[in-house]
Amino acid sequence: MKNILLTSYFAGTIRQFKQFMANQSTEITNILFIDTASKVEEYTGYIDEAYKALLNLNYTIDTLDISNSDKIKSKNQIQNADTIFIAGGNTFYLLDKLKSQKLDKLLIDKINTGTPYIGESAGAIILSPDITYIQELDDASFAPNLNTYTGLGITDFSILPHYLDKPFENETSTIFNKYHDKLDLITLNNQETISISNDQLILN
């Protein structure tokens, strides 16, 4: 049973997040916040915005940077997480770090067995069957050891975040025009989310 919220920009979709959390069967107070994808980005203000928003909502936050943590610690944090939030940044770098520490299968198991998952931008894209399509938006050279662009395959569609939002108007338009007739491509602007619960998909 999947329990997923996908967003382009977490700080712009707090309303949907609050509704998503209110719909959980048990009250959740702890969130594992994984900010690895941001570590190769010049601008990371969205990380601070997301973190502060979660604090303002009175969540206890456990942080994890997979690129700067040993495999055992990363595995334990993910395994024990009540809710997992993977923030935005470079999708290729994020997927490389997950696969190199062999955390991809653990994450898949956690999500497929119902652990609430919030994926922001790169954190949403990695759920796709393949992430090749996002190269116009993210620089794949940050993951030189990533031999395949196969995603986690949790969704059968591919997310295109920041659609026509500044400063990504040109990149997202190019991706849409190139792939909309080749992939099941779902666009999200910075105020939209997709939630998945009991295999029901809702765009909000």
In this prediction, residue 143 carries a pLDDT of 98
Judge contact between 115 and 81, C-beta under 8 A.
Answer: yes
Q: Find the catalytic residue in 74, 121, 158, 195.
A: 121
**Burial letters for 36-71: b for 16+ Cβ neighbours within 10 Å, e otherwise?**
bbbbbbeebebbebbbeebeeeebeebebebbebee
Q: Kindly give the interhelix angle for 91-100 and 104-112, rounded to the nearest 10 degrees.
A: 100
For this structure, is 162 an active site residue? Answer: yes
In this prediction, residue 25 carries a pLDDT of 86
CATH class of 3-203: alpha beta
In this prediction, residue 198 carries a pLDDT of 81
In this prediction, residue 194 carries a pLDDT of 98
Q: Find the catalytic residue in 74, 128, 162, 195.
A: 162
Q: Which two tokens stand for residue 40?
A: 């190769």
For this structure, is 180 an active site residue? Answer: no
What are the mean pLDDT values of the chain's consecutive 10-residue runs (204 residues total)? 96 98 94 98 96 98 96 97 98 98 97 98 99 98 97 97 96 97 97 93 94
Quickly tell me which residue has 């105020």 as its tokens. 191
In this prediction, residue 199 carries a pLDDT of 81
What residue ranges do the domains of the chain occupy?
3-203
Q: Give DSSP secondary structure letters for 144-170.
A: TT----B---SSSSEEE-STT-TT-HH
In this prediction, residue 42 carries a pLDDT of 94
